Amino acid sequence: MPDFALAQVDNVRIAGLAACLPSHSVSNKEAGAELYGDEIDGVIKTTGVAERRVSPEGEVTALDLCVKAAERLFERSGYDKEKIGGVIFVTSSPDFLMPNNATSAQHRLGLSNSVAAFDINLACSGYVYGLWNAAMAANSMRKHVLLLDGETNSHFASPKDRATAVLFGDAGTATLIEPCENASPWTFSFETDGSKRDALIIPEGGYRNRINAHSAEYREYPDGGIRRGIDMKMDGMEVFNFVVRSVPKCLDFLMQETKTAACDYDVLALHQANLFMIRQVAKKMKFPMDKVPTTIQKYGNSSSATIPVTLASELHKRIETDNLKVLASGFGAGLSLASVSMELGPCSCPGVVKYEC
């Protein structure tokens, strides 16, 4: 059994969960017809992405979507915002390089100035990392922490690149974490392989390769992709190999540490990378697909936001009434993997709200 980083946080629970998606839906059958030709039906079957929710570029951002999700959560529960001691914003598509999204969210949501606020940039594994950091912060501060997780990755996917063109959608989510004595522990496991970081990367726009006069120009690359320097470059096979090799081992390790088995869980919540990948992991873990909710078909891959989007979309009624044992895992860019064994519910979960575009 390989070694994975391990962490445990006690005495916290999720007090609420909501998601927000753009109202605009893109059909991949139409959007991918020119690029993929007769292969488009096979692409849709393999990836599972029949439709994607996409926000207007330059008009609706991850910050807007997350704020809307938080507002919906507060309205539904009649929540007292004075209880919040921290805001953590998970995103790799912030409004600005500086300042961070969390400080903007604090202001827009009318939260007290006496809160801690910071961002986490982790892409696909980000929600689980966000839960870990929010749980530790809630424990330390003895106050609620608002975890916002949103992405607008559709704007970093070239419509001319077969590796990424029909995969990515946009979403925003809000999760409230609160201190709770005697709550069941949350146990986390992590793996990082930075040697493979080029497998999923936006090569230009940071301080290593600054934006230049050619960054927004489409160019053809040796891998056959046509994209801009500010678009995602993805080696799908490298990412797939990482996922099918590492995710089941990481989850096995986590279940061994928590002395649990697949039959002990109500839900296996996986990052919605593509449907084939999800099914492969579920099969290896011996989870029946009725325990593995999916939203990749109707929303696309919204990176780190896919786990909370899927929970809010597919399980909101059960989350409001039941106590669910959840095994969750996010994986991808980095290459990075983060998993958690936890309990969820009963708590406020108004589901998914549309952001009218």
What would the 3-class secondary structure string for 169-233 be?
A: CEEEEEEEEEECCCCCCEEEEEEECHHHHHHEECCCCCCCCCCCCCCCCCEECCCCCEECCCCCE
For the segment 299-330, what is each residue's pLDDT rounded down to a tens digit?
A: 999 999 999 999 999 999 999 999 999 999 99
First CA to last CA distance, the chain: 48
pLDDT at residue 2, as a whole number: 62
Report CA 106 to chain centroid distance, whole Å: 21
Give me the mean pLDDT over the 111-128 stretch: 97
**pLDDT tens string 232-253:** 999 999 999 999 999 999 999 9
Q: What is the pLDDT of residue 325?
A: 98
- For residue 300, report the phi and psi dihedrals to the nearest 5 degrees: 85, -175
pLDDT in tens, 59-117: 999 999 999 999 999 998 788 999 999 999 999 999 999 999 999 999 999 999 999 99
Q: How confident is the model at residue 9 (pLDDT cuts 50, 70, 90)?
A: very high
Q: Is 356 left (phi over 0), alpha (psi -120 to 50) or beta?
A: beta
Question: Does 1 score more than 70 pLDDT?
Answer: no
Band (pLDDT 50/70/90 cuts) for residue 270 is very high
Q: What digits encode the pLDDT tens for the residues 156-177? A: 999 999 999 999 999 999 999 9
pLDDT in tens, 173-210: 999 999 999 999 999 999 999 999 999 999 999 999 99
Dist. CA 140–CA 151, nearest whole Å? 28
Q: What is the average pLDDT across 128-145?
A: 98
Judge whether 173 and 305 are in contact, CB under 8 Å.
Answer: yes
Give the pLDDT score at 357. 74
Q: Quote the tokens at residue 19.
A: 């998601």
- Token output for 329: 């895992």
Predicted confidence (pLDDT) at residue 22 exceeds the cutoff of 80:
yes
Question: Cis bond leading into 99, ω under 30°?
Answer: yes
pLDDT in tens, 276-293: 999 999 999 999 999 999
The CA distance from 245 to 242, in Å, is 5
pLDDT value of position 77:
79
